[in-house]
């Protein structure tokens, strides 16, 4: 068990294979549990002669500063001999909730976040306010299949990449084991071909310029 000053930057650098408990140097009793897939804040102390452990939340859905503030309040209650009630398991976030947290964690540009938000609102609107675990339902797989068959290849590429990344993210932050419907569809041969770069076709009025450029290149090589 290590004692260290916990911070978001530190947690982000920790290897995913680490499995240990870190104690915060700033607030005694404030801890972080590292597992293969999750980073969980909790307090470990005593109250009224009893050992107390209360889970605060998972990083990065709750920041280190916010978790430390909650821990401070819980620890103060423990010092007064009040045993905190175990928190009721909170509902999982929705698809709408996850996107900004994912963007902040990955350090995405505002333009990328706006584009991803537009894709979700345009093509996955019916799923935006459903718990993220619902992305594992067969109905969502059917929706993804219809999306992949009805949209252009470039939009499909971005959409399936986004959904697959968001699912991997919530698996890591919430200990879930959801599979991306797009991975399953691709394995079954039900995904269209990926978008290909557009070939540039020279117009007739561009041909003399192209020919002149080729001639100049040839002259330079001969020199």
What integer pLDDT is reported at residue 16 of this predicted model?
A: 62
List the domain range (segments joined by +) for residue 125: 95-187
Q: What is the pTM of this model?
A: 0.55
130 and 62 fall within a common domain: no
What integer pLDDT is reported at residue 198 of this predicted model?
A: 46
71 and 111 fall within a common domain: no
> In this structure, is residue 212 part of a structural domain?
no
pLDDT digits (tens, 9 = 90+) for 48-98: 888 999 888 888 878 899 999 999 999 998 988 888 776 545 567 889 989
- In this structure, which long-range contacts are made by residues 177-184, counting pairs with CB atoms below 8 Å and at least 24 apart in sequence? 178/132, 178/133, 178/135, 178/136, 179/136, 181/135, 181/140, 181/141, 181/144, 181/145, 182/144, 182/148, 184/141
* pLDDT above 60 for 223: no
17 and 66 fall within a common domain: yes
Quote the number of domains for the chain: 2
20 and 70 fall within a common domain: yes
What integer pLDDT is reported at residue 195 of this predicted model?
A: 47
63 and 141 fall within a common domain: no
124 and 47 fall within a common domain: no
At 58, which CATH number? 3.30.160.390
């Amino acid at each position: 068990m290590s004692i260290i000053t916990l911070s978001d930057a530190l947690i982000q650098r920790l290897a995913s294979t680490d499995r240990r408990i870190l104690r915060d140097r700033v607030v005694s009793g404030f801890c972080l549990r590292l597992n293969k897939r999750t980073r969980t804040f909790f307090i470990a102390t005593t109250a009224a002669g009893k050992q107390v452990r209360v889970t605060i939340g998972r990083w990065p859905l709750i920041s280190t500063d916010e978790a430390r503030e909650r821990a401070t309040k819980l620890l103060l209650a423990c010092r007064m001999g009040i045993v905190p009630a175990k928190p009721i398991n909170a509902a999982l976030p929705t698809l709408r909730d996850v996107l900004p947290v994912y963007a902040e964690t990955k350090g995405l540009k505002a333009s990328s976040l706006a584009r991803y938000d537009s894709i979700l609102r345009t093509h996955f609107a019916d799923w935006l306010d459903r718990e993220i675990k619902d992305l594992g339902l067969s109905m969502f797989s059917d929706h993804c299949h219809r999306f992949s068959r009805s949209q252009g290849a470039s939009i499909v590429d971005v959409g399936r990449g986004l959904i697959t990344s968001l699912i991997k993210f919530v698996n890591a932050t919430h200990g879930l084991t959801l599979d991306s419907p797009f991975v399953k569809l691709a394995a079954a041969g039900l995904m269209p071909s990926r978008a290909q770069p557009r070939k540039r076709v020279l117009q007739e009025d561009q041909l003399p310029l192209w020919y002149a450029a080729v001639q100049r290149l040839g002259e330079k090589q001969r020199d």
